[in-house]
């Protein structure tokens, strides 16, 4: 009896945990070290013309810093979209100053200009603005760097084409979300954003949708992973997911998803256990009734 009680307690606890997700408390953000903002910038410029921009660098340390600004080019690896940095081949970007003295908890804004040559073809160019400084803690010195990417579009007849290389969605789900992935190839000559969407439909749920935007660089394939919130009840659902851009029609895929949350297994186990008890009791009563009838027949 004690074992049965412990078993039921464990199943009920599992059920409650699956119904009520854990809560996390946000910590108060603290700035430390060297910082640069904005986190990314987008500029458009005509070939042979100049466009202006600026960045803000900040010293969140307890000592003065000498900050040096420099420029690198960047690209991304296919699928993972990890940044790849390289030396500048054509430096279109020039700062008004490359060295800034910053006192503790102070910031400074530095202007720059971007001037592509007159015969530059339309399309995208990608730089990274890097701020470097040396931090000292006692006798130990360390070099720190922070960076912000700069997405430049040279105006003209840009091409914003794409294709879906592959796609997938989890067909069997027990958690709170239904993951899916899209491999999107940017076949154009300029960067743009793709908006992913996902929804599910079934007998016992309204449509549940999710949207997110992801930047795509020309000549690369990006693996985009997102998820759709799981429905309330278990069952078999139709999932619709895909993406769209400002210049292309939505590309949509479909798939079936079997959703069986953890609490569903607890209910099945508890129900089976309860059913087995009822069957055993019914069988015992039936045997007792048969034994009673047999004894009565003997005394007749």
Predicted confidence (pLDDT) per residue in 137-167, tens digit: 778 888 999 999 999 999 999 999 999 999 9
pLDDT digits (tens, 9 = 90+) for 192-248: 999 999 999 887 666 667 788 999 999 999 999 999 998 888 889 999 999 999 888
d(Cα 239, Cα 255) in Å, to the nearest integer?
Answer: 5
Lowest mean pLDDT: which of 80-89, 112-121, 207-216?
207-216
pLDDT band at 16 (very low <50, low <70, confident <90, very high): very low
pLDDT band at 18 (very low <50, low <70, confident <90, very high): very low
Q: Does pLDDT of 267 surpass 90?
A: no
Separation of CA 295 from chain center: 73
What is the average pLDDT across 165-171? 95
Task: Output the furthest CA–CA distance in the chain (Å, rounded).
Answer: 119
> Could you tell me which residue, 42 or 249, shows the higher pLDDT?
42
d(Cα 33, Cα 128) in Å, to the nearest integer?
Answer: 19
pLDDT for 138: 77
pLDDT for 79: 97
Q: Does pLDDT of 286 surpass 70?
A: no
Q: What are phi and psi of 64, to 5 degrees?
A: -60, 150
pLDDT band at 294 (very low <50, low <70, confident <90, very high): low
Question: What pTM, to 2 d.p., does this model score?
Answer: 0.76
Lowest mean pLDDT: which of 115-119, 121-125, 137-141?
137-141
How does DSSP classify residue 273?
Answer: H
Q: 247: which residues sit within 8 A by CB, 6+ positions away?
A: 160, 192
pLDDT band at 268 (very low <50, low <70, confident <90, very high): low
Tokens of 267: 């209910």
pLDDT for 32: 78
d(Cα 199, Cα 43) in Å, to the nearest integer?
Answer: 34
Contact status, residue 183 vs residue 167, Cβ threshold 8 Å: yes
Contact status, residue 152 vs residue 126, Cβ threshold 8 Å: yes
> What mean pLDDT, rounded, does the chain reach?
84
d(Cα 186, Cα 222) in Å, to the nearest integer?
Answer: 8
């Amino acid at each position: 009896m004690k074992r049965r009680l412990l078993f039921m307690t464990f199943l009920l606890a599992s059920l409650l945990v699956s119904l009520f997700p854990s809560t996390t408390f946000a910590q108060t953000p603290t700035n430390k070290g060297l910082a640069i903002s904005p986190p990314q910038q987008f500029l458009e410029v005509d070939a042979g013309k100049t466009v202006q921009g600026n960045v803000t660098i900040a010293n969140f340390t307890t000592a003065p810093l000498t900050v040096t600004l420099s420029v690198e080019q960047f690209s991304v690896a296919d699928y993972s979209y990890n940044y790849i940095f390289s030396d500048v081949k054509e430096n279109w970007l020039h700062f008004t100053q490359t060295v800034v003295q910053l006192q503790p908890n102070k910031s400074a804004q530095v202007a720059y200009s971007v001037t592509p040559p007159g015969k530059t073809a339309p399309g995208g160019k990608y730089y990274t603005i890097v701020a470097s400084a040396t931090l000292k803690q006692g006798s130990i010195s360390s070099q720190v760097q922070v960076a912000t990417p700069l997405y430049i579009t040279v105006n003209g007849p840009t091409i914003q084409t794409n294709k879906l290389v592959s796609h997938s969605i989890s067909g069997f789900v027990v958690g709170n979300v239904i993951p899916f992935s899209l491999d999107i190839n940017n076949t154009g000559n300029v960067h743009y954003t793709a908006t992913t969407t996902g929804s599910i439909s079934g007998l016992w749920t309204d449509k549940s949708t999710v949207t997110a935007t992801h930047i795509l660089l020309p000549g690369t394939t990006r693996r985009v992973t997102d998820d759709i919130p799981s429905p309330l009840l278990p069952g078999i659902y139709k999932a619709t997911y895909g993406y769209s851009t400002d210049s292309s029609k939505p590309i949509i895929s479909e798939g079936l998803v079997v959703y069986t949350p953890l609490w569903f297994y607890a209910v099945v186990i508890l129900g089976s256990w309860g059913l087995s008890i009822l069957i055993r009791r019914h069988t015992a009563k039936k045997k007792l009734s048969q034994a009673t009838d047999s004894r009565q027949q003997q005394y007749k």
